[in-house]
Each structure stands twice: as C-alpha cells, then as structure tokens.
Structure 1
C-alpha cells in the first residue's frame, strides 16, 4: 500500500457520505502539526471513515524496510498486491476508479524502481466491469504489472455472475493471471454477534469465503467459457479442498442443485494435477494439510504464500515451512519444494526469462 492516500471522499458528488479508507500517524498531534500522513519510521493507523480498522508497520508501505526484511529472511523476490480493504467495491465508481489507478501507479513505481525485487499485481474497481477492463488494459500495457488481485465477491455478487464475463475475457486476452483473496472484514459488518468473537471472521470466515468463491467458479461453467483463465486462490483455497469429496458427492447425487450450470465438468475434474486453470497458495500452517492439498491438486499447482506482513501470515520467516519443516522435507523432494517456493509462481505469472536463475 502507499504511505499516504488522497481524500477520495471529496470525489463523491451524489450527496451521500462515503466512509473511505484514510491513514493517520499514530501521533495524531504530530500529523496535524506537520500536515503529514505517513513517514517510513512510524506506524500508521488505517481508518474507515472515523472507525479504526488496523495498525500497519513501515514494512507495509516502505520498500526499503521490506527489502531489509526480505534480505534477513532469505527472500529474493516478492509479489506485491494491495490490501483487500482498499478494493473499495462498495464505493461510487468514479472515485473508486481513481483510487485503483492511484494504487496501481504506486505498485508499478515500486516494481520499476526495484525490478529484481518486486513483481506487481493490479487492483480494479469490479463494481463496474467496463471500468475494470479499461484499467486492466492500462496496467498491462502502460504499467507492465503481471497480474490482478480481486476479492471473493463483489458487493454480494458471486464471481460466477454473468456480468463478470467481459472481465474474464479481458484477462484471457491480455494473459493476466488472477489472484483471488477473501474480504473477511465484511462479515463483521453483516453480523457482529456471529463473526465478531474469537477473530472468527478471519479464522473461519475467510476460508469459508474462499471456498464459496471456488465453488461458484467450478460449478458454473466459468472455466468452460473461459478456458485460458489462470486463477490462484489465497490461503490454499480456504475450506474448499477438505470439502471436495462432499462437494463432488453433492454434484453426483443432486445434479439438479449442483450440476445444472457446470456444462458437464465436475468439481474434481478441475483439480487434477495436469489442469492449468486452478492454483492455490501454500499458506496452511499445517504440513499434513499441505500434503492433502498436494495429493488433490498436485505440488506443481502450489505457490508459496506468506500473507506478509500480517500476523496470520507465515511470520517472521516467509516460506519457513516449505524450506525447513521436517515433515515437509520427508514428504517432498528438494526439487518439489523449490518449485513451490519459486518455480510455480514464475509459471503462474508468466515470468519465464525474468527470474529463471532464482528457481
């Protein structure tokens, strides 16, 4: 994310009061005195309107700090994408498009300044598909970003909704892989008593969101209509793979409810090791679950995920489980682990020729 954000609330012209993300130094009096939003040496509080959301440290917005931490933990290259709260799918389209452009310009500037350390993913305002396709073309051609990050749903609309078909077509035509990340924070807005306790929205809700998104994509024929799509789902696909047997059984025993839009392709068919549409990241915190997922989808479709720099990620050493866990070492060869650590990401993002020496 950038170290500061413009005030996009002034862009809203429909008379509605919109709660936009804003960034504030921890020392608010210093903020008012110096008229600054952030500096590389201070933590920053993120607010939605006037409601506190979370605190981020300099490693979230300062590339120098990031590279220092990367060097300390043996990370050569990092794929960077925006923080999902900044997707702003619920905002008016004009300012949301301006925000997406601002975020993409910032990510591109970091990647261009440090081309051997960072690879960038774009964000798009998917509440307006036409604007999203235009921004996708811009980031591909003008900014040279290598993929796009989207949420698991867009203002309550699942990803199999027909209005997103032009976006999928554009991703195919531009050869833009898609990283899909859950939103989490929306669950507490919908039902605080259900999701607010025990960090449930993040620990249970996020994996459930991701499973629902995969279920929608694989049950709806999206990949039949758009066979060139490359989709990577965060957090190892959430709850989907452990539920695959149940989902396939439902497909078989109640096709009237599950298979009516699948165009004859079952959920299990999409998760074969030879398929080229579905990828998962490795962030499970559990060697046994990683083995199960690899048994279902194949280790060649697993990309190392870290969720850096947030606490639910693999911190403080991204890739530690793949590199050094004893059980993982017994389950997978060094070559296979190397592919999961870097080679599979190179293939997913189409980076052949850029970082081959780092495989």
Structure 2
C-alpha cells in the first residue's frame, strides 16, 4: 500500500459522504513533514472514515524496509498485492476507480524501481465489471503487472454471479492469474455479536469466506466455461479442503441442490494434481494440514503464502515451516519444498521469462 492516499471523499461528488480509508501519520510534529524519508520510517494509522481500523508499520508501505527484512530472512522475491480493505467494493464507482488506479500505479512503480525483488498484482473495482476489465487491461498492458487480486465476494454477490462472466473472459484473454483473498472485516460489521469476540472474523470467518468462494466457483461451471483460468486461494483454501469429503458427498446424494450447474464436473475432479486451474497457498501453520492439502491437490499446486507483514502470517520469517520445520522436512523432499517455495509461483504467474 502507499504511505499516503488522497482524500477520495473529495475526488468526485459521488465520493462525498462515504467512509473512505485514510492513512494518518504518527508522531511527526517534530519532523519535516515534506521529508519522504521521515514519512516512510514511522507507523501509519488506518482509519475507515473517522473510525480507527489498524496500525501498520513501515514494512507495509516502504519497499526499502521490506527489502531489508527480505534479506534478513532469505527471501529473494516478493509478490506484492493490495491490502484487502482497500478493495473498496462498496464505494461509488468513479472515486473507487481513481483509488484502484492509484494503488495499481503505486505497485507498478515499486516493481519498476526494484525489478529483481518484487512482482506485482493488480486490483480492480469489481462492483463495476466493465470498469474492472478496463483496469485489468491497463494493469497488464501498460503497467506490466502479472496477475490480479480479488475478494471472495463483491458487495454480498458470490463469485458465480453471472455478471462477472466478462471479467473471467478478460482474465483468460490476457492470461492474468487471479489471487482470491477473503475480506473478514465485513463480518463483524454485519453482526458484531457473532463475529466480534475472540478475533472470530479473522480466525473463523476468513477461512469460511474462502471455502464459500471455492464452493461457488467449482459448483457453478465457471471453470468449464473458462478453462484457461488460473486461481489461487489464500490460506490454503480456508475451510474447503477439510470439508471436501462432505461437499463431494452432498454433490453425489443431492445433485438437485449441489450439481445442477456443475456441467458434470464434481468438486473432487477439480482438486487433482494434474489440473491447471486451482492453486492454494501454504499458509496453514500446521504441518499435518499441509500434508492433507498436498495429498488432495498435489504439492505442485501449493504456493508459499506468507501474509507478510501481518501477525496471522509467518512472521518474522516467511516460509519458515517449509524451510525449517523438521516434520515438514520429513514429509517432503527438498525438491518438492523448493517447488512450493518458488517454482509453483513461477508457473502460476507465468514468470518464465523473468526466472
């Protein structure tokens, strides 16, 4: 994310009155606020309108800090993408499009400045599919970004909604792989009594959101209609893989409820190691669960996920479980772990010309 953002409530009449994300620098009264070095070396508070959301450290917005931490933990290259709360799917399209362009231009500038350390993903304003296709083309053709990150739902609409068909077609045409990340923060807003305690929206809600997104995509025939799509789901697909047996049984015993739009392809058919549509990241914090998902989808479809630089990720050392965990080392060969650490991401993102 950038270290600062324009006030999008003032960018157009449609944006006024909306609660936009704004970034507020801290503890700068004794410094020169025009000094970019100072601005990038202090924590930033994120607000939604006037409501505090979270504090982020410089490693969230300063590539120089990131590179120092990468060097310290043996990370050669990062794939960088937008913080999900900045998707702004619930905002009016004109200012939201300006925000998205700002975010994509920033990510592209970081990749341009440090081409050997960062690979960038775009974001798009999916509340307007036509605008999203325009931005997707700009991200690919003008900015050189290598994929696109989207949420697990768009303003309450599941990803199997027919209005998203032109977006899937554009991703196929442009060969833009898709990283799908849950939102989480919306659950507590919808029902604070249910999701507000024990960090439940993040610990339980996010994996559930991801499972629902996979369920919608695999049950709806999207991948039959768009066989060239490549999708990677965050956090090892959330709750989907542990529920696969139950979902497949539902597909078999109640096809009228589950299989009516699948065009004859069952959930288990999609999660095979030879398929080329579905990838999962490795962020599970549990060697046994990593072993399970590898048995279900194959280690060649697992991409190292870090959730860097947030506390639910592998911090302070991204990839620690794959590189240092003795149990994981006994489960998988060095070659297999190397593929999960790097090779599979190169394949998913089509980075053969770079690496």
Normalised TM-score (structure 1): 0.96
Please list, as runs of the form range in 1=range in 2, the aligned pairs for 1:1-359 lying within 5 A after superposition: 1-14=1-14, 17-27=17-27, 34=33, 39-355=39-355
- Supply the distance in 2 between the matched residues of 1:164 and 1:80 (Cα, whole angstroms): 24
- Supply the distance in 1 between the matched residues of 2:68 and 2:28 (Cα, whole angstroms): 28
Which secondary structure does the structure 2 equivalent of 1:198 belong to? coil
Q: Quick check: 1:12–1:18 contact (8 Å CA) kept in 2?
A: no
Which secondary structure does the structure 2 equivalent of 1:260 belong to? coil
CA drift of 1:15 comes to 7.9
Kindly report structure 1 stretches of 4+ aligned residues shifted beyond 2 Å. Answer: 26-31, 33-38
- Supply the distance in 2 between the matched residues of 1:36 and 1:206 (Cα, whole angstroms): 38
Which secondary structure does the structure 2 equivalent of 1:4 belong to? coil
Residues 30 and 187 of structure 1: is their aligned pair in 2 closer, same or farther, counting only changes over 3 Å? farther
Residues 293 and 18 of structure 1: is their aligned pair in 2 closer, same or farther, counting only changes over 3 Å? same
- 3-12 vs 165-174, greater mean Cα deviation: 3-12
- Supply the distance in 2 between the matched residues of 1:331 and 1:345 (Cα, whole angstroms): 21
- 12-21 vs 61-70, greater mean Cα deviation: 12-21
Q: Quick check: 1:12–1:92 contact (8 Å CA) kept in 2?
A: no
Superposed CA offset, 1:286-327 (max 9, x none): 000000000000000000000000000001100000001001
CA drift of 1:215 comes to 0.2
Which secondary structure does the structure 2 equivalent of 1:75 belong to? coil
- Supply the distance in 1 between the matched residues of 2:203 and 2:101 (Cα, whole angstroms): 31
Superposed CA offset, 1:9-51 (max 9, x none): 01241485100000001237569x9479981110000000000
- Supply the distance in 2 between the matched residues of 1:254 and 1:239 (Cα, whole angstroms): 21
- Supply the distance in 2 between the matched residues of 1:15 and 1:173 (Cα, whole angstroms): 32
- Supply the distance in 2 between the matched residues of 1:271 and 1:3 (Cα, whole angstroms): 39
CA drift of 1:353 comes to 2.6
Which secondary structure does the structure 1 equivalent of 2:143 belong to? coil
Which secondary structure does the structure 1 equivalent of 2:39 belong to? coil
Residues 290 and 6 of structure 1: is their aligned pair in 2 closer, same or farther, counting only changes over 3 Å? same
Q: Quick check: 1:137–1:174 contact (8 Å CA) kept in 2?
A: yes
Superposed CA offset, 1:188-234 (max 9, x none): 10000100000000000000000000000000000000000000000
Which secondary structure does the structure 2 equivalent of 1:122 belong to? strand
Q: Quick check: 2:177–2:348 contact (8 Å CA) kept in 1?
A: yes
Aligned residues: 354
Residues 15 and 21 of structure 1: is their aligned pair in 2 closer, same or farther, counting only changes over 3 Å? closer
Q: Which runs of 5+ in 1 are unaligned?
A: none
Cα-Cα RMSD: 1.4
Q: Which runs of 5+ in 2 are unaligned?
A: none
